[in-house]
Amino acid sequence: MMKKEDVAGNEIIKREKYTKYEKARIIGARALQIAMGAPVLIDTDKTDPIEIAIEEFKKGVIPITVRRRRW
C-alpha cells in the first residue's frame, strides 16, 4: 500500500495489487467475454474459458482496469 494526496489534499490510498474481489470480478468478466466469442490473447491448450481467463490474468494481458469509487 502506498499513501498519496490528490489535488484537493485529501489523502488517498492507492493499492498496487487487486483485492481478491477485484481479481474475481476481472477474471469473471474476462471469462464471460471469452465464452461469448471474444478473441483469446494468449497461446494456450486450455478450453475452459475460466481457466483461460486465469492464465491471461497471471500473464497480465487482460485489458481491464478497475475504477475504484472510495477507498
Partner 1 sequence: MYLKVRAVDVVRVPPERFGEDIVSTVKELLEEKLEGRLDKKVGMFIAILDVISIGEGRILIGDAGIYYETVFDTLVYRPKLQEITEGEVVEVVEFGAFIEIGPLDGLLHISQITDEYISYDEKGGRLVGKESGKSLTAGERVRARIVAISLNEKEPSDSKIGLTMRQPGLGTYKWLEEERAKKQQEELK
Interface ranges with partner 1 (CB under 8 A): 29, 32-39, 64
- Closer by beta carbon to partner 1, 13 or else 29: 29
In the complex, what is the shortest distance from the CB of residue 25 to partner 1, in angstroms, rounded to a whole number?
Answer: 8
CA–CA dist 30, 3 (Å, integer)? 30
In the complex, what is the shortest distance from the CB of residue 37 to partner 1, in angstroms, rounded to a whole number?
Answer: 4
Give, as one character, the DSSP assignment of residue 63.
Answer: -
In the complex, what is the shortest distance from the CB of residue 66 to partner 1, in angstroms, rounded to a whole number?
Answer: 10
